[in-house]
A and B are shown apart, each in its own frame.
Chain A
Amino acid sequence: MSTDTRRAVERAARDSYGRLVTFLAARSRDIAAAEDALADAFRAALETWPRDGVPDRPEAWLLTAARRRLIDRARHFQVRAEAVPDLRLAAEEAQHLAEAGRFPDERLRLLFVCAHPAIDPAIHTPLMLQTVLGLDAARIASAFLVSPAAMGQRLSRAKVKIRDAGIGFELPEAKELPPRLDAVLQAVYAAYGSGWDDVAGADPRRKGLAMEAIDLGRMLRPMLPAEPEVEGLLALMLYCEARREARRGPAGDFIPLSEQDTARWSKPMIAEAERILSAAAQDRRMGRFQLEAAIQSVHTQRARNGQTDWEVIALLYEGLVRLAPTIGARVGQAAAVAEARDAATGWDLLQAIPAEAVASYQPYWALAAHLLRRLGQPAGMAYDRAIGLCEDPAMRAFLLRRAADG
């Protein structure tokens, strides 16, 4: 079986699992109990579906495989909740719908619960990855560089909070939607790993579960068709993903964006990102993710005409910094301005960022070294700082070579 087929089957299992967890949790208000009841069935699906094919009624298959556990779990948790329909009743309702082949997709509700303002923002993304996609805590912990035991505890604590605080599974009302949606989109983007292909060779992919984040983005799009930022985020992730192959040389060495062979960029993925970004633009409501996607779109033009229009990129960054003045955006702006105008102007922008905000921010030091070198100033200390803060061996080796070239 090809990797693509295996991935498609795995995605089908994760889709059905996420729908079921949402359905059961929305009714029993207990995410942990729903996950627990479905855990063995989900594991069995991941093992047998690649061999036997995805069943016609995947949710019904999972519910049947989970029947014993569902009854056990329902009994176990019954002591707690009198006012709430118990897990078994919810499972019976689910079984009817699943057998009729009309199982609802309510995962959007669960995504909003995971990114609820009452939940610590640091746990939004791990919660989504676990509850909606069924990833295990150990894998999430490695991606986010947290101890697996601590990650497990934080996830359970968040689920207890959702249950005990009675956080509702209703979709947010129109006036609440913008901030609530922003929290969901930020959490999805955090799963992708932010800005790992910056200009001037800064910021490698540090952490993140890129394909899973793209899956979440694809899932969100039809659920929120009127929200251009959903499309902006999906387009942004696809543009970055399109360059994955080109980021590494044959020996695994790091290749910065400006030196990448555009023949190795994925044309279908870029075309998809372009389509999605133009659809977003129809709405005429600009947002942070659309701007970031637009920046990547300009970079991809190089595949067509061999040029990078830094003036346009600098303007887009200016808009981005006004809208979302993150450190990453400000460093990106400084890099773009250095290319569009001159290194000194870029350097001034870089210097305007407060020192305490960038003490351990590696891309800042990588760009500082690059600009100092271009200005003919001593760059050794900045290179050392960028190298010392590196997490990615390929990026470290790249910067070590650059530092030695000086």
Chain B
Amino acid sequence: MQYALLFQQTPEEFADRRDPGKAAAFWAAFMPYMTALKQAGLVVAGAGLEPPATATSIRIGGNGRQVQDGPFADTKEQLAGFFIIEVPNLDTALEWASRYPGGVGGGVEVRPVAPPKPQQ
């Protein structure tokens, strides 16, 4: 089955990624995690995302669409990146999610990838 690992980060973590003094520490922990996932042959797709301040959102209201600067979700923790992995079951997906080297306050949401739309 395919699962999405959706990494959530705090504003502090996003800031650290861009801080020349701290970025190295972030990548030193994160790169081996990516490598381990890839070496296990599980990765279907994945990407890291720029901080939420760089986002532009389109919100569809009753009176048409509204374009706004910033992320869609109004939460402190924001999506920072994702992997889609192919694993036998949720337990294995959770095992890999628990290895995510994120900081306190953030975490990982694990969600099954929906099957393709059935053929008519």
**Residues in A lying within 8 Å of B, measured CB to CB:** 145-147, 150, 359-360, 383-391, 393, 396, 400, 403-404
The residue of chain B having its C-beta at the shortest distance from the C-beta of A362 within the complex is B99
Q: Is B94 an interface residue (CB 8 A)?
A: yes
Could you tell me the distance between the alpha carbons of A117 and B8 in the complex, rounded to whole angstroms? Answer: 41
Q: Is the CB of B101 within 8 A of A390?
A: yes
B29–A387 contact, CB under 8 A? yes
Of A147, A150, A384, A390, the contact of B99 (CB 8 Å cutoff): A390
Taking CB as reference atom, which chain A residue is nearest B97? Answer: A145
B90 to A: closest C-beta gap in Å: 6
Pick from A145, A400, A404: contact of B98, CB below 8 A: A145
Since A384-B36, A388-B99 are in contact, a sample of 17 more A-B pairs with Cβ atoms closer than 8 Å, ordered by chain A residue number, is A145-B91, A145-B94, A145-B95, A146-B90, A150-B90, A360-B40, A383-B32, A384-B31, A385-B35, A385-B36, A387-B29, A387-B33, A387-B101, A388-B32, A388-B33, A388-B36, A396-B101
**CB nearest to A365 among chain B residues:** B36
Total A-B pairs, Cβ < 8 A: 51
Q: Which residue of B lies closest to A403 (CB)?
A: B28
- Name B's interface SS: helix
Partner of B37, one of A146, A150, A388, A393: A388
CA distance A400 to B31 in the complex (A): 12
State A217–B57 Cα separation when bound (angstroms): 57
The A interface is mostly helix, strand or loop, or mixed, namely helix
Q: Does B34 contact A (CB under 8 A)?
A: yes
Min CB distance, B10 to chain A, in Å? 15
B40 and A396 within 8 A (CB): no
Bound Cα distance from A359 to B31, whole angstroms = 17
Residues of B within 8 A of A384 (CB): 31-32, 35-36
Known: A385-B36, A388-B34, A390-B101. A400 touches B91 (CB 8 A): no
Question: Which residues of chain B come closer than 8 Å to A400, judged between CB atoms?
Answer: 25, 28-29
State the CA gap A384–B40 with chains docked (Å): 13
Q: Are A388 and B28 in contact (CB under 8 A)?
A: no
Which B24-74 residues sit within 8 Å CB-CB of chain A? Answer: 25, 28-29, 31-37, 39-40
Which residues of A are found within 8 Å of B29, using beta-carbon distances? Answer: 387, 396, 400
By a CB distance below 8 angstroms, the chain B residues around A390 are 99, 101
| A389 cross-chain contacts in B, Cβ below 8 A | 36, 99
Q: Which B residues contact A (CB, under 8 angstroms)?
A: 25, 28-29, 31-37, 39-40, 90-91, 94-95, 98-99, 101
The smallest C-beta distance from A395 to any residue of chain B, in angstroms, reads: 11
* Interchain CB contact (< 8 A) of B94 among A147, A387, A393: A147
In the assembled complex, which residues on chain A have CB atoms less than 8 Å from the CB atom of B40? Answer: 359-360
Q: Would you call B90 and A147 a contact (CB within 8 A)? A: yes
Q: Tell me the smallest distance from the CB of A253 to a CB of chain B, in Å.
A: 14
In the bound complex, CA of A393 to CA of B34 (Å) = 16
When C-beta atoms are compared, the residue in chain B nearest to A400 turns out to be: B28
In the complex, which residues of chain B have a beta carbon less than 8 angstroms from the beta carbon of A386?
32
Please name all residues of chain B whose beta carbon is closer than 8 Å to the beta carbon of A360 when the two chains form the complex.
36, 40
Q: In the bound complex, what is the Cα–Cα distance between A384 and B35 (angstroms)?
A: 8
Instruction: Please give me the residue from chain B that is nearest to A144 by CB atom.
Output: B91
In the bound assembly, the distance between CA atoms of A391 and B25 in angstroms comes to: 17
In the complex, what distance in Å separates the CA atom of A383 from the CA atom of B33?
11
Residues from chain B with Cβ under 8 Å of A150 in the complex: 90-91
The residue on A at minimum CB distance from B93 is A147
Cα–Cα, bound, A191→B35 (Å): 30
Q: What are the 10 A-B residue pairs with the smallest beta carbon separation, nearest first?
A: A388-B36, A388-B32, A387-B32, A384-B32, A388-B33, A391-B98, A145-B94, A389-B36, A391-B99, A388-B35
Flag if B101 contacts A393 (CB, 8 Å): yes
List chain A residues, Cβ under 8 A from B34.
388
Tell me, in angstroms, the Cα distance from A79 to B32 when the chains sit together. Answer: 58
Q: CA separation between A150 and B37, bound complex, in Å?
A: 24
Contacts of B31 in A (CB 8 A): 384
Contacts of B101 in A (CB 8 A): 387, 390, 393, 396
Closest beta carbon of chain B to A258's beta carbon, Å: 24
Contacts of B25 in A (CB 8 A): 400
A390 to B100, CA, bound (A): 8
**Taking CB as reference atom, which chain A residue is nearest B42?**
A360
- Expressed in whole angstroms, the minimum distance between the Cβ of B102 and any Cβ of chain A is 9
Q: Please measure, in the bound complex, the distance between the C-alpha atom of A240 and the C-alpha atom of B33, giving whole angstroms.
A: 29
